[in-house]
Amino acid sequence: MKKLMCTCGVLMALFFAACQTETAREKTDDMGVIAETTVQSVIDQLTEKYGEGRKDMIQRGVSQTAALWKAEDGDATVFETFCLENYQGTDEARKSLFDKLSRNYELIWGHMNQMSLELNKPLHLNWGPIEPVDVMFGSYSPSAHLDDDFFGNKIAFLTILNFPFYKLEEKAELGPDWNRLDWAYARLGDVYNSRVPSHINQEAARISTESDNYISEYNIVMDKLVNNEGKALFPANLRLITHWGLRDEIKSNYALADGLEKQEMIYQVMQRIIAQDIPQVVINNAEVEWNPYTNEVLKDGQTIETTPEPDTRYQYLLNNFLAAKEADPYSPSYPTAIDRAFNAGLELTMEEVEALFIDLVGSPQAKAVGQLISQRLGRPLQPFDIWYDGFKSRSAISEEQLNNIVGSKYPNREAFEKDLPNILTKLGWSPQRAHYIASKVQVESSRGAGHAWGAQMREQKSYLRTRIGENGMDYKGYNIAVHEFGHNVEQTITLHDVDHFMMSGVPNTAFTETTAFLFQMRDLNLLGIDSGDPNADHLRALDNFWGSYEIMGVSLVDMAVWKWMYDNPQATAAQLKGKTIEIAIEVWNKYYAPVFGVEDSPILAIYSHMISYPLYLSAYPLGHLIEFQIEGQLKGKNMADEIDRMYTVGRLIPQEWMKLAVGAPISSRPILNAVEEALKHIQ
């Protein structure tokens, strides 16, 4: 997964007040106090000075500046003087201002990003017990007051006036005719799209950090799980983070003779977590034993009384919702966190995303692939088989063998970091280019499941975090590390090799997930393990499809839960828990029960992203779809050359990026067609 660490926060909605009264506009916290007559007068004066050809840009810039202007910023005379003196009416003057703003924003965002990185290290790295002071500093957002400061000294207004923003539909309409500098100007226009008070930003940062810490510390001590016969199934000292570790343990057990019993036990644990009837005392505690079937807890062989976790999981989800909702009044064009996450963040509407997902999860191919998996397993499907891992070549290799291979190759983080250039050369980069990219990445041992933290200025490195135990890296940690390295490579290319800093990055988080998936699916090849299977492409299509099928359902639940929270903003954590489970079951029964033959499973509600990364989940299935289309583009070509070509395009809107990269918009059709063909060959 990618932990998004942009110091300015996730870009919020683009703000434009289209309907204004003659005297004063609708006010949000005293915004929009400049009369329309004054606004029009300024527009007319600037148009007369610089010509009718610039009228549209002038009107956008002046109107958007006025929309965010408060009484504290000055009266109408101050506003008029500011606009007339600071509007850059020639191409040369505007380009000069753009260069200065770009340089300074890179410096500010970069150093604030570095501050956040350092302050969060006690939470993200395995430095020992987390103290309250660590959470306090980790919750601090260095950029929380940046907007307040820059509106106060009018740098924000200078930016808005000369680089107005365009809404998503406008970018889609005008973007094909823009040159690179036009796009860079538009991206600079995205920076100040709201005027959220600093205390709201700071509170959102605090809640986000606390939620992330809750998930990072949520481990199940697996060797303390016992079945109804009192037997422990898992090896000693195995702690698995939820949900990632539990999910990956289910995947790894398909290759084991006794794997089914373990998988069934993990599924039971997951259901307890979702229902929040998991005993509080068993979370991250090796001092007690727990039977997840009966929910009985034992200490020193004696049953003890316990209390369930008090809906903590859903309280964190609710806290994130309430924090996001506080920003709504300051983003009238995209007045909900849902709008901002999709229209301004992913730059795809929720309706587009839902349609893409439903096209796949509701396809006849899903039932056909489900039947194939059932045949390969020799049993009816169970709900946890949404994580079936048997289409990968590694499924024939035991977890123990893989752990031994990885552990001997990477006994510590230094060994993995040293090998980064070799990984890149194996993927097609030249030795010189590989060393250049690898030099921008630093590896660290993660407390949580792992993440990639990108740089925000070119003088900084990106960070790769994964779990590395005392005995070295195991396969799970390696698999995550390869995934995160894909993020780091994208982060490096799109920061250092894109022509304008304001165009650095990718269209949305799905595109960086795509790079991570491209790396991750080659993890065994990087170890020198090649299945030599002539059906490898067909198996890859089936694997991608099944992974997409699983995560799309989770994403549909995530979206539906947020819609419900907006409809029920006064809900309690207990009510949210009940509705989340209800939604998960509804989605399961509609799209999964017909394939699995099992109704009323809540399993789609287990994902930790719902709790600590609000509305992030859709990036994963989008990434799967994009990855499959890019894989088609890579056939017969050098992967490294194509990644360099595609990702140096930078941050266009998604569909424009895709047209340049692969010649077509994002679609589920390529993978569905590939699955149709694969089913003819794989039995």
Dump pLDDT digits (tens) for 450-477: 899 999 999 999 999 998 888 889 998 9
pLDDT above 50 for 597:
yes
Q: What's CA 467's distance to the chain center, in Å?
A: 19
Structure-block tokens of residue 342: 């999709």
For the chain, percent of residues with pLDDT exceeding 70:
95
Residues 92-119, mean pLDDT to the nearest whole number: 97
> CB within 8 A of 75, min separation 6: which ones?
none
State the pLDDT confidence band at 17, using cuts at 50, 70 and 90.
Answer: very low
Structure-block tokens of residue 226: 């016992």
DSSP state of 296: E
- Structure confidence at residue 396 (pLDDT): 64
- Give the HSE-up count for residue 333: Cα atoms under 13 Å, Cβ half-sphere: 23
Tell me if residue 18 falls in helix, strand or coil. coil
- Structure confidence at residue 395 (pLDDT): 52
Kindly report which listed range (5-19, 166-180, 286-300) carries the lowest average pLDDT score: 5-19
Structure-block tokens of residue 55: 């009228």
Instruction: With CA atoms as reference, report the closest residue to 592 among 540, 559, 558, 546.
Output: 546
User: How many whole angstroms separate alpha carbon 516 and alpha carbon 521?
Assistant: 9
pLDDT above 50 for 24:
no
List, in sequence order, every beta strand (DSSP E) within 139-295.
Answer: 219-221, 239-241, 289-291
Residue for token pair 């299977």: 533
Count Cβ atoms within 10 A of the Cβ of residue 433 and give its class: 0-12 exposed, 13-18 middle, 19 or more buried.
middle
pLDDT above 90 for 13:
no
DSSP for 362-397, please give it: TSHHHHHHHHHHHHHHTS---GGGGG--TTSGGGGS
pLDDT above 90 for 18:
no
For the chain, percent of residues with pLDDT exceeding 90:
81
Structure-block tokens of residue 569: 């903003």
DSSP for 403-465, please give it: HHHHHHH-SSHHHHHHHHHHHHHHTT--HHHHHHHHTTEEEEEBSSSEEEE--SSTTSPEEEE
What rounded mean pLDDT belongs to the chain? 92
Angle, helices 431-438 vs 475-496, to 10°: value is: 100
pLDDT, tens digit (0-9, with 9 covering 90-100), for 625-659: 999 999 999 999 999 999 999 999 999 999 999 99
With b meaning 16 or more CB within 10 Å and e meaning fewer, what string describes 129-151?
Answer: eeeeebbebbbbbbbbebbbebb
DSSP state of 490: H
State the pLDDT confidence band at 255, using cuts at 50, 70 and 90.
Answer: confident
